[in-house]
Structure 1
Amino acid sequence: MKSAKKNIRHINLSELQEYFKSIGEKPFRAKQVYEWLWLKHASSFEDMTNLSKQLRANLEEHFSLPAITVDTVQQSTDGTVKSRFRLHDGHLVEGVLIPTENRQTACVSSQVGCSLSCKFCATGYMDRKRNLDFDEIYDEVALINKQALENAGKKLTNIVYMGMGEPLLNYKNVLQSIERITSPDGLGMSPKRITVSTAGVAKMIRQLGDDKVKFNLALSLHAANDAKRSEIMPINDTNNLKVLIEALNYFYKATQNEISFEYILFKNFNDTLQDADELIRIYRQVPVDLVNIIEYNPITNARFQKPDEEVVDTFMQYLGKNRVNARLRRSRGKDIDAACGQLANK
């Protein structure tokens, strides 16, 4: 049965101050609790050691603190760390720490499962159970940040919302989590170091523009004509390329934020020079900062394969010759199913 107690992280500082006033406590206690919740990332009221036992018991009685916990951790030979997180209701999601020489990137999930059924993605074969709350997404980031500090002695430098789920179908919680992550009394991270990836929900891309968000946007493109894109991404039936191009231009005009394309290469599907030409055509219609060409990571359910190296090289050279700012993204964490498209709670 769902607890009737209010999640303490779902109330703001002034509401917390009001509560402390109502029980005859000094308002500064609210600031202390708020610091425990967001800055020090306490996972229980018991952790709040500068509060009296009585006050901790009072909070325990009136509020819930459903922090997520690390269920299992796997380390890849390339240093990538995949964590499976357990939510308060027993659901599981995955997050990944991707360390490189000058970056510590967290890849976080925004939903339990996914409703979009992209044919090449392991999460797409799972049902969507529910959205993550903003504080659960924040927990993922805080826990991965802790891993970065433990493993490399460095804090996270970047966050990508590219884990399980479609972030723009959990719009409110994703934006609220970023607000907390970038807040000085949260993790204090610059929104310019955060990228939200979408399979292409045009209406919500426009909404991001209206909301004047400060973070970057990545579109999972993966095919540059409607027939092919619909074949692998059913969302394209209702959000076709024309509609997406218009939405991305609207977003850029409103925010001037960076836009990137993600394009996974599939053998004998979207890896010819004709496909490259179609990609170039779209690239020229949107102020795209970068095209990430991604190695495909085979998954059990999908029929796709990785193209041969020569095909990849030819594709990349052709893009370069046509002045497309493209980068080949080598997969990290493949040996632990932590690479792009592989997250499925395995």
Structure 2
Amino acid sequence: MSVKKNIREFTLPELKEYFEAIGDKKFRAMQAYEWLWKKNARSFDDMSNLSLELRKKLAEEFELKPLTVDVTQHSSDGTLKSRFRTFDGHLIEGVIIPTEKRSTACVSSQIGCSLACKFCATGLMERKRNLHFDEIYDQVALLNEQSLKMHGTGLTNIVYMGMGEPLLNYKNVLKSIERITASDSMAMSPKRITVSTAGVAKMIRQLGDDKVRFNLALSLHAATDEKRNRIMAINETNNIAALIDALNYFYEQTKNDITLEYVLLNGENDSLEDAEDLVKVYRKIPTHLVNVIEYNSVAGIDFVKSGEDSTQIFTDYLAKHKVNVRVRRSRGKDIDAACGQLANKDKVA
């Protein structure tokens, strides 16, 4: 018995070749392609403008592995979190963060994570596998449908800041962005997409070589190797100097925006000395913004967020030294949808 191929791995020219080979017309390929990438068909039976016989043949020869929505939770602040189930029974999470002018989707790239950053709920999980490009695409498509239904507007922005390290699933992440931005699909501008990394220097340089058009965010969270090693094990093999070099290379090759993400941890990285160290790093990178992030508590992790006074003193120091800084307030904390909290909990709101 032959193994079925994933039909979404086929390009439009390849589908045209297939339909010609079975004696059908080329335009059937375009019809099927539209169902796959514009109409978001969940099965071959959905492709209503194809004959029953053709739909049956496609189902016999190909497989379609869509994500399904397992649980959706609604926060009091308007944030929406969905837990998705993969074809093989794994669970991942994605979030919609609405504002007056934007509807931002936060999507996952892996099932679990292997980096074990000490402040992150996902880091407590074992990495099961990478998500395939069409599974990442499905998150965006389903969240877009939810955004339209809940807020009357589709997604305006996408951030790869959910579960997993995007640059350790490089090919699938880039392929998903190619599909999301394609004119025959969602046609999202790459400038409205940001990929966040914990800092894989080699792959940051690869993004530059590949001349990607989307933006990049580095989860820095500490501005010296000594402190970053303590909270992010990846720094032991991708130290700050290597990351500075890689980010400069990325910018030289792409001219895309770079953001530094910095979660404030009480007594760990929120002193004036820490702020001074961050200014030094900031001045070595062509970054356009530092996002200072409120820490969100995670069961089993001892870190706590910095107080309002400490946060104000820290950010005032940055601003005084000409750092473009913004405080990113937590959204969706009551449903564990905030930054660092995604961990497939069973709680339903």
Q: Shorter-chain TM-score category?
A: over 0.9
Q: CA deviation at 1:282?
A: 0.2
Q: Which amino acid aligns with 1:261?
A: L
2: distance between equivalents of 1:325 and 1:262?
12
TM-score by length of 2: 0.98
After TM superposition, give the deviation of residue 278 of structure 1 in Å: 0.2
Are 2:12 and 1:17 equivalent residues in the alignment? no
Distance 1:137 1:209, change over 3 A: same
2:263 paired with 1:295: no
Q: What corresponds to 2:107 in structure 1?
A: 108
- What percentage of residue pairs aligned between the two structures are identical? 67
Equivalent residue for 1:218?
217
Q: Deviations over 1:156-182 (max 9, x none)?
A: 000000000000000000000000000
Unaligned runs of 5+ in 2: none
CA distance in 2, matches of 1:308, 1:343: 23
Residue equivalent to 1:78? 77
Aligned to 1:166: 165
Deviation at 1:101, TM superposition (A): 0.6
1:342, 1:85 → 2: CA distance? Answer: 16
Distance in 2 (CA, whole Å) between partners of 1:238 and 1:281 is 21
Matched letter for residue 288 of structure 1: T
* Corresponding residue of 1:263: 262
Give 3-state SS (helix, strand or coil) of 1:163's partner: coil
Q: 2:191 aligns to what?
A: 192
Give 1:284's aligned residue. 283
Cα gap change, 1:258 to 1:3, in 2 (>3 Å): farther
Change in 2 beyond 3 A, CA 1:318/1:3: farther
AA matched with 1:184: S
Hey, which bits of structure 1, 4+ residues long, moved more than 4 A? Answer: none
Residues 233-252 of structure 1: per-residue CA shift (max 9 Å, x gap): 00000000000000000000
Give the partner amino acid of 2:179. R
| 1:29 aligned partner | 28
Partner SS, residue 105 of structure 1: strand
Quickly say closer, same or farther: Cα 1:188–1:22, change in 2 above 3 A: same
CA distance in 1: counterparts of 2:91 and 2:85, whole angstroms: 5
Can you list the C-alpha shifts for 1:18-47, whole angstroms capped at 9, x where unaligned?
A: 111111111100000000000011010011
1:82-103, Cα deviation, whole Å (9 max, x unpaired) = 0000000000100000000100
Pairs within 5 Å for 1:285-324:
285-324=284-323
Aligned partner letter, 1:40: K
What amino acid does structure 1 have at the position aligned with 2:274?
A: D
Per-residue deviation, 1:284: 0.2
Matched, 1:88 2:87: yes
* 1:177-188 → structure 2 map (5 Å cutoff): 177-188=176-187
Q: CA deviation at 1:3?
A: 8.4
Q: Note the alpha carbon deviations across 1:241-281, whole angstroms, 9 max, x for none.
A: 00000000000000000000000000001001000000000
- SS of equivalent to 1:291: strand
Which whole-Å CA distance do the structure 2 matches of 1:211 and 1:188 have between them? Answer: 20
Q: In the alignment, residue 61 of structure 2 is paired with which amino acid?
A: H
Q: Distance in 2 between matches of 1:247 and 1:138?
A: 27
Structure 1: state its 5+ residue gaps: none
CA distance in 1, matches of 2:100, 2:2: 45
